[in-house]
Amino acid sequence: MGKINAIITGVGGYVPDYVLTNEELSRMVDTNDEWIMTRVGIKERRILTEEGLGTSYMARKAAKLLMKKTGADPDSIDALIVATSTADYHFPSTASIVIGKLGLKNAMAFDFWAACCGFLYSLDVASSMIQCGRYKRIIVIGADKMSSATDYKDRNTCPLFGDGAAAVMVEGTEEENIGLMDSYLRTDGLGLPFLHMKAGGSVSPASYFTVDHRMHYTYQEGRTVFRYAVTNMSDDCVRIAERNGLSKDNIQWVVPHQANMRIIEAVAKRMEMPMDKVMVNIDHYGNTSAATIPLALWDYESRLKKGDNLIMTAFGAGFVHGANYLRWAYDGAK
């Protein structure tokens, strides 16, 4: 047997029906459409409003569509990975809940916590699992119910986030020069003061005090996070392009994490890429954390061609950052 390459063979996505518009947000906090669009470029976001439903629900919907599109036998799935920061529970894993709901009998499952970089990290891990030869078919899901961690009394953060999930099928092939070609992934460990949830973990368990002081929501120092995100995402893209002999002429798509339109534009400018070669859906989904990149693949799938060079990049709490170089494995929507 020759070298095994790991390829994406299908994409499935899910976003909730409810659309939270800037106009509606302006009735909740002191903000308006112009302020939000100028600063982050978000027009609307999807919110999972049904009581009792969490991240696993959206992950399951995305995986179910993926399996239907690819025609994959449920018994042939060897592993399922959910990248998320908004797990249904502290334990068990969200992935185990998804597995149970889908009825996958022969798969291992685990959650991967790398914030907004979770999909990139998980895809790299899944690819390594495929390349070692012990796993044949793995579902990788990026899913987050960011509304569950958003303070809708905070005008600075509540316009940013939305809910969603998307899943990809990762399989092996002996075809050369296809699939996940390279990854540059780093964690610098400097981000705790600037982006975190103050309570709910083992350092500060839930109490009357933490609830009363609204400590169970996303806290972010926006300017610092913005600066780190632009620098690291841009540097990571340039680095991975250079070491693989890629340039603006032979990169078909840049797939950036959808956190802020100004960050996306800055990354494109640094790479000298025109915006029509950059996947953008932040305007109607907002920041769905680990789901943003696979949701972009889902939205743009019909425009992808076999052999297209994709650079995917993200930045998130930790700070975690990185870029993946992927050569697309099939033509158009399946």
42 touches 282 (CB < 8 A): yes
Q: What is the DSSP letter of 278?
A: B
In this structure, the number of other CB atoms found within 10 A of the CB of residue 8 comes to: 26
Cis-peptide, bond into residue 92, ω within 30° of zero: yes
Q: CA 22 to CA 286: how far, in whole Å?
A: 11
287 is a catalytic site residue: yes
Instruction: Check 5, 22, 116, 117 and give the catalytic one.
Output: 116
Bridge partner list, 169: 10, 139
324 is a catalytic site residue: no
Q: CA 12 to CA 289: how far, in whole Å?
A: 17
257 is a catalytic site residue: yes
- Residue carrying the six token digits 């030869």: 133
67 touches 308 (CB < 8 A): no
Bridge partner list, 311: 254, 325
- DSSP run (H or E) holding 163: strand 163-173
Instruction: Check 232, 287, 309, 324 and give the catalytic one.
Output: 287
Instruction: Check 257, 309, 321, 324 and give the catalytic one.
Output: 257
Q: CA 149 to CA 157: how far, in whole Å?
A: 10
Query: Active-site residues: which are they?
Result: 116, 257, 287
